[in-house]
Amino acid sequence: MANQEAPEEQPFRLSSLVFSVYLPTIFFSIGQGAVIPTIPLFARHLGASVAFAAFIVALRGIGQLIGDIPAGFAVSKWGDKGAMVAGTTLIGIVAIGASLSPTPVVLGGLTLVMGIGWAFWQIARLAYVSEVAPLEHRGRALSMTGGMNRIGNFVGPALGGLLAEFAGLGAAFLLQACMGLAAAAMMFIVVREGSGSEQMAGHGLRGRMVETISTNRNIYMRAGPPVIALGVLRQARQVFLPLWGEQIGLGPGQIGLITSASFFIDASIFYPVGLIMDTRGRKWVGVPCLITMAVGLAILPLTSTFGAFLAVGMLTGLGNGFGAGINMTLGADFSPDVGRGEFLGVWRLISDVGQGGGPVVISVMTAVSGLAAASVVTGGIGLAGAALLLVFVPEPLKRNRARTAARLASSDAGGSAGPG
């Protein structure tokens, strides 16, 4: 009888992620985008002061910080699919509750839980793509993931605003619930079972976390500061552009137009960015991302006209576009095969320190030195982050290619060994 050969494994295609990652990402980010501007308005509608409404908005970021480490453990324990579906389902349920919130305190508590669900979704999705996308496609796979997120965030606020206008503020949360549950259902059907789950017996959670940080401390110490700097720059862009536009006398319509143009450029270049990451290296986009955004913020105080302000807005949008998926790709590249969930939980926590701490740093600098000086100093933080990334962080693409080649050589040597 002739030997039956095992079917040849199909080559990876980006299209294989359409229903498991890209469409759920668009759904999820549309829902998130719909409620981000609605949360403070709904809090005010429920009777919150301006300060407490701002605090409720901040609770979402705090929830992400709280959820990062548990989400990493959940990925290792339940697998990528279980954690992704759990995170999106949680947000769908929480959004329904938020639409029915009777008081600002209840809304705040649910917003905190919303941030925890967001952490589960982010880390599980990254772990899944890290596992299924081979190294030579990983930059494009994750830059497209970032691009889908940007598209959803571009569409979501407009849809949420229309719903809030005609059906009340709570309707935006119901849109988020529908989008989150649709994403959860799609992933439950499409994503294969058991992806990435690990046996956790014999190791306490604290022991595994200590081991993860100890084993990977060199990567965290080298790559962490540039990632934090990028988070600060991204928050600064969202704060300084509208505030400086107001300071030079532009109206809300003009500021909104420039902001939309900036975000449009941001969302339009994710595929070529991913291609550069996969062919030239991750630092070829990470360093220009930090430098371009830093220069844009540093020269922002020199603008005094609509045209100059528009140019700087476009420059910062281009810079952020260079960074589409860079945090996720670096995390995927540096993550180990065993303990990936815990590694990514800490990695995401470092990233969220920049995202969550950025507004605090910016507000302190602005209070101490004024808006113009704070913008320049933030630009300096970005340039320092670019220098650290360029000099101290090993190029992950070369590092992983060398590691893969060594693994293949070892495998071939082992397979050819034997009696002559």
Rounded Cα distance, 23 and 288, in Å: 29
* Residue range 108-140, pLDDT digits in tens: 999 999 999 999 999 999 989 988 888 888 899
| pLDDT of 1 higher than 50 | no
Closest of 208, 53, 55, 190 to residue 125, by C-alpha? 190
- Mean pLDDT of all residues in the chain? 85
Tokens representing residue 275 in the block: 């291609």
Element (DSSP H or E) covering residue 115: helix 104-132
| pLDDT of 414 higher than 70 | no
* Residue range 65-85, pLDDT digits in tens: 899 999 988 888 888 888 999
Residue ranges of domains in the chain, CATH in brackets? 15-192 (1.20.1250.20), 211-405 (1.20.1250.20)
The answer to whether 155 touches 104, Cβ cutoff 8 Å, is: no
Rounded Cα distance, 167 and 187, in Å: 30
The answer to whether 289 touches 323, Cβ cutoff 8 Å, is: yes
| pLDDT of 257 higher than 90 | no
Rounded Cα distance, 344 and 342, in Å: 5
Closest of 230, 220, 225 to residue 378, by C-alpha? 230
* Residue range 369-413, pLDDT digits in tens: 888 998 999 999 999 999 999 999 999 877 665 554 454 445 455
The answer to whether 275 touches 140, Cβ cutoff 8 Å, is: yes
Tokens representing residue 216 in the block: 């990977």
* Residue range 291-322, pLDDT digits in tens: 999 999 999 999 999 999 999 999 999 999 99
